[in-house]
Structure formats: C-alpha cells, structure tokens
Amino acid sequence: MSAPHSEALLAQVAALPPLPGVYRYFDRNDALLYVGKARNLKKRVASYFSKHHGGTRIGHMVGKIVRLETTVVRSETEALLLENNLIKSQHPKYNILFRDDKSYPFLKITGLAAHDGTGSTPGQRFPRIAYYRGSTDKRHRYFGPYPSAWAVKETITLLQKVFRLRTCEDTVYANRSRPCLLYQIKRCTAPCVGLIAPEDYANDVRNAEALLRGETQELLHHLEQRMLAHAERLEFEQAAELRNQLQALARVLHQQAIETTDTRDVDILAVRVQGGKACVNLAMVRGGRHLGDRPYFSSQADAVGTLQDTEDEAAAPLDPAQQILEAFVAQHYLGQPIAPLLVVSHALSAPLLQALSAQAGQRISAVHQPREERRVWLEMAEKNAELQLARLLAEEGSQQARTRALAEALDLPCEQLEQLRIECFDISHTAGEATRASCVVFAQHAMQSSQYRRFKIEGITGGDDYAAMRQVLERRYRPLAQAQAQPEAGSPPDATPTRLPDLVLIDGGKGQVAVAREVFAELGLELSRIVGVEKGEGRKVGLEELVFADGREKIYLGQDSAALMLIAQIRDEAHRFAITGMRAARAKARTGGSRLEDIAGIGPKKRARLLQRFGGLRGVQDASPQDLASVEGISTELADTIYRTLH
C-alpha cells in the first residue's frame, strides 16, 4: 500500500461488489480527489490499495484518501457518462480536466419548417437568419454548432449573397415602409414591403437549408431545373433570378477551402502533449464546409497516468495522448451536439463510442488512420494543435519570467512564485458621479478574473479620490487584518484564498500611497506591501515610477523592464475594470435606475410598443402617465408604475 489507511476504509473496499460503477475518493478535508469508472468496482478499487505506487502522482493521491463513495450502475456505458458528468461539475484535483466556459454559437432560422409562407408572425411567414448563442428550442431551426462567432457571420453573409434572406428583427420588419439598404445592395429581397411572393421566399429558405445541410449537388441540380422550366414558359425574369443564384452559389462554393465528398458533418480532433501541457484541437466540418477550429487546453495535464480501468492485468497502458483525447471527448460532448463521424489522431475505445452513440441517439464512429482528404484534415488539426501548444508554452514562459523579474526588483519572495499574489486598486468616476473602486488580482502568473471585486463608494465628497481610496482599502483589508489577529482555532494558516496579498499596487503617486500607508498602519499591516504606480513625465506609458509606503526612495525600472511591463498590465486591468463599473452605474443612474424589462408587467411585446411609440427609452422617460396609458396594452395603473419607476 502507498500509505496506511483505516480498517473501516479497507473493509469497505473489500466489501465492494464486482459490478460496473463509479468511485470517488475524498481527503481528510472532504475535498474530492478523484472520480473514476470501473467495469468491476471490487477489482478496480482494490488495485489502488493493494499495490505500491511509490512517489508517483498516483501514490500521492492514494496516500491522501480517507473516504470512499461508490455508485453502482447497470452498464459500463452508464458508468462512463456518470463519471464525466461528475468530473465536469465537481473538478476533482487528480482528473484530467478541460475547461470551456463558452457555449457554441448557432445559425438560427426563425419559425417552424412549414415553408408555406403562412403563420401569425413575420418570423413564420418570412423567416429571418440570425446569429444565436444559448439553449435551443423547437420554435426555430438551428444549424451548427459553429466553432466561432466569425464562422456563423460568414455563413450568414454567404446566405445573404446567394438567397437574399432577411436578417432584420421583427420589430424593424413590421415598421418598414420602403426597402432598406440591404435590398439596394442585393442582400435582401425586401419581403417587408411585399417585393417577393411568400412562396418564392419559402423556396429560398428551403434552398438555404439544403446548402447548410451540405446538399450542394442536389441544390445546384434543383435550381438548374427550375431555371430551365421558367425559360420554357418564357418567364425570363424568374429564370434570370435563378441564373444569378446559381452563379453566386458557384462562386461561393469555389471559394471554400475544404469541401467534403461523402460525409457532410465531421469533427476532427488532434492532441499534442509537451512540457506538462496538453492541447486538443477541434476542427468542424458542417454541411460540406470547413468552419474553422478551436484549441482546448487541459488544466490538469499532469493527471495523466492514473491506473487504467481494465480487468486485464497484462494490458498495455494507454498512451498519455490517447488518455487526454478520450478524457476530452467524454467531457466535451456532454450536452453538446456531436457529428456522426470523428476523425481522431489517436484511437478511441469501444465503450466510449458506445456511450457517445447512446447519448446522441445515433451511431457515432471514429476514424483513427484516415486516408485522402480526411488525412489532410487531420494533418491540419495536428499542426494547429502543435502551434497552439507552442504559443501557450511561450506565453506561460514569458509570464513566469515577468513574475520573477518583478519579485527580484521589489525584493519579494522568489522561492514559490506560483503563490505570489498581487492586488491592485483604482478609482473611477465622472466629475464625482457614480464613483467606483476596483480590485483586480494577479496570481499563478495570470490575472484571476473570478476574484475581481468592485466597490460602490458612498458617503464621500464627489471627486475625492483620497477618501475613496481610504474607504476601499478599509473595506477590503479590515476583515483580513482581524482574521489574521484572531485566527480561528484549528484552522491552518492561509487556508482561505482571501489571504493578505504579497503586494498591494495603488494606481497613484505620493498622495494615494500616503492614504494607503495610514490605513495599513491603523490595521497593523506591513507597510512594505504597498507600492504606488506614479505616472511619469507627460503621463507616457513606460515612464512610470514606483512609490513605496515604507520610506524607500521611489525607483524607475526602465522602459524595457519586464517587471514594469507586468506592473503596467495589472494597473491597466484595474483601470479597465473600474471604468466599466463606473460607466454601468452612471448609465443606470441616468436612465432612472431601471430598465423597462425590470418593471413587473412589462413583457417583450409591451416593451416593443413603448419603444416604438416614443422612439426609445429616453422618450418613454419623458412621457407623462397619460401618454403612457395611450399605448395598447398599458393600463392606467401600469402607466403610473412605469412613470414612478423611471423617475
């Protein structure tokens, strides 16, 4: 065994059933260490406690285990799905994790797929194409997902050029009295003013959907047959319109970098591992067109090397790149649409493909060693993964060098640079209005946006930056000073992420630093932590000087100093964060402290009627209760509520 464990834990391991399931390990602080799946829970979990793992990462993990939880499921497929749901939601320390906070964008065509030009709304009678990000529903049609917003907007431009579908909002569409500029430049057929028949527009929508599905040859043949039919009936204007569509479509297809010949929807995945980091590059082919790619980086690349989930003791261990790719595929496609074919740089296991198929409701296959054009796709994805990983390593190396340069320049501890924490403060207001203070955090060689804080400054004279700085520093550090003076019994030092920073940067010169020095002196904190960033001559970037609160002479690090570059980066981020908060507060104050959608009883339709009647929010604010009540759907009581809220 890697470390002694309690008899109760070992007895629990011995009593496990030989069934498929998921196991979870916890440490003495009840923190989740690892989530794993097993075809045979008893054999799999026992292998952790019956072998000696030495000083490996697995050995360190096993030595921390004090509690075990298991869940028995019906099949290995269910175990795999549950395992990755838990990994994605709970972020265990020793699992390979891929973080992706962004949802994929889609191209949306409004309305149901009736295509008969009927319906109660403009979006149903004359569907519009639009960029969309969020959860999908059955009221509209969605195509994608696309790897980026750029790919969606490029596709919308393509459809506008070929089929001239509308992109305007329904509220704009319903109030047009003449064609807009898009009609003039041949990007729309102006259904808003009746310049195209509903059945002809419905044909264009059908053809656009066929193109999005990749049915290019069938679409070209269909358009050609329609053009010839119109010509035979001497309907030359209609034939000319179809001829123009065919020419535009041919130009667009000729410009595409990649066209598929057989499979229309494909995901291409390639993985590269280097320097303790891993990158998976995902490229997408949808509807016969290559839409671009997106890199994903593992935040736990060093977690590779956990015991393989197999009952065959002699089985060869998985290649680390293969482990990373399987972890990515299992986590990424939870709740995400998946293409029926995956072209991959490393083979995927049969249980994983079965789980993906069960989740998608269709057969998912993977090609490991593709030929011809698929081979070209995979080589492109592998090259992109290699380039993205090299960029990440270069950026991290540069950032670590900046951190070390700053620590050396300011005599900060250099032994554990990963734990170096810097907080920076800035004050922002407009002529004393809507004063806001920002606190941004730099740690682990990067800005930690999840730990940023904004402070609403009140009870001071407008424009008094010194009073604002005093207030924000007291509010930020008084609780920490009290906790440091009276630590809770039994709590380890620095157990909380809100520990005192190693460095406090103040965006300002001697006056701001003097205020910070007074606050820290009152709280009994070290003055050496405070450094002011004073603008240089002409307020030019690169000429800043550092002002110290502990009496040291101010210094100039030099325009080419890596330490000054890092300080400027942190200072600029604090300024950006403060000014965006101030602008938002100012805008809210100047619009009556509320938006129309925040008022109970105001839904999308009533809001649209109000904005349309009065020409915008400013007009609604200027309207009297009687004027508001004259709008359809706005009662006298609701008009009074709107007026009071906005004033």
Q: What is the CATH number of the domain that holds 583?
A: 3.30.420.340
Q: Please, which pLDDT band fits residue 257 given cuts at 50, 70 and 90?
A: very low
341-344 vs 365-367, strand pairing mode: parallel
3-state SS, residue 296 = strand
Res. 256: pLDDT tops 60:
no
Residue 79's pLDDT is 86
Q: Please, which pLDDT band fits residue 120 given cuts at 50, 70 and 90?
A: low
Cβ atoms of 10 and 23 within 8 Å: the answer is no
Q: Would residue 504 count as lying in a domain?
A: yes
Same domain, 365 and 426: no
**CA 370, CA 638: separation in Å to the nearest integer?**
65
Residue 155's pLDDT is 83
Q: Would residue 563 count as lying in a domain?
A: yes
Same domain, 357 and 438: no
DSSP letters spanning 385-419: HHHHHHHHHHHHHHHHHHHHHHHHHTT---TTGGG
Res. 643: pLDDT tops 70:
yes
Is the model more confident about 251 or about 451?
451
Average pLDDT of the chain?
80
Taking only the tens place, the pLDDT of each residue in 586-609 is 665 554 444 676 677 788 788 878
Same domain, 331 and 423: no
**CA 36, CA 502: separation in Å to the nearest integer?**
38
Same domain, 625 and 596: yes
Same domain, 71 and 82: yes
The mean-pLDDT minimum among 85-94, 513-522, 550-559, 607-616 falls in: 607-616
Q: Would residue 507 count as lying in a domain?
A: yes
How many CB atoms neighbour CB 585 within 10 A? Answer: 19
Give the mean pLDDT of 380-403. Answer: 84
Same domain, 469 and 530: yes
Residue 614's pLDDT is 75
Contacts of residue 191, Cβ cutoff 8 Å, sequence gap at least 6: 125, 126, 166, 173, 198, 201
CATH of the domain at 75: 3.40.1440.10
- Total number of domains in the chain: 4
Same domain, 470 and 578: yes
Same domain, 529 and 627: no
Residue 373's pLDDT is 81
Is the model more confident about 123 or about 151?
151
* Closest alpha carbon to 587 in 453, 454, 459, 433: 433
Q: Would residue 103 count as lying in a domain?
A: no
Tokens linked to 88:
């994605």
**CA 144, CA 212: separation in Å to the nearest integer?**
9
The domain boundary, picked from 573, 589, 605, lies at 589
* Closest alpha carbon to 426 in 581, 584, 575: 575
CATH of the domain at 633: 1.10.150.20
Q: Would residue 68 count as lying in a domain?
A: yes
Same domain, 534 and 424: yes
Same domain, 472 and 529: yes
The domain boundary, picked from 369, 389, 409, lies at 389
Which residue's structure tokens are 């004063």?
A: 435
Peptide bond into 145 cis (omega under 30): yes
Q: Would residue 219 count as lying in a domain?
A: no
Number of alpha helices (DSSP H) and beta strands (DSSP E) in the chain: 21, 18
The domain boundary, picked from 67, 90, 113, lies at 90
Give the mean pLDDT of 420-438. Answer: 84
Res. 453: pLDDT tops 60:
yes
Is the model more confident about 307 or about 221?
221
DSSP letters spanning 131-179: EEES---TTSEEE---SSHHHHHHHHHHHHHHH----S-HHHHTT-SS-
Q: Would residue 314 count as lying in a domain?
A: no
Same domain, 516 and 617: no
Q: Would residue 341 count as lying in a domain?
A: yes
The mean-pLDDT minimum among 120-134, 306-320, 367-381 falls in: 306-320
Taking only the tens place, the pLDDT of each residue in 166-209 is 998 888 888 888 899 998 988 898 999 988 888 889 888 888 88
Q: Please, which pLDDT band fits residue 56 given cuts at 50, 70 and 90?
A: low
Most confident of 33-47, 121-135, 220-234, 258-272: 33-47
How many CB atoms neighbour CB 371 within 10 A? Answer: 8
Residue 1's pLDDT is 42
Residue 615's pLDDT is 67
Residue 299's identity, in one-letter code, is S
**CA 165, CA 208: separation in Å to the nearest integer?**
9
Residue 505's pLDDT is 93
Is the model more confident about 564 or about 600?
564
Is the model more confident about 101 or about 574?
574
Expressed as residue numbers, the domain containing 71 is: 7-90
Cβ atoms of 543 and 536 within 8 Å: the answer is yes
Same domain, 299 and 354: yes
Is the model more confident about 305 or about 276?
276
Contacts of residue 621, Cβ cutoff 8 Å, sequence gap at least 6: 591, 592, 646, 647
Q: Please, which pLDDT band fits residue 311 given cuts at 50, 70 and 90?
A: very low
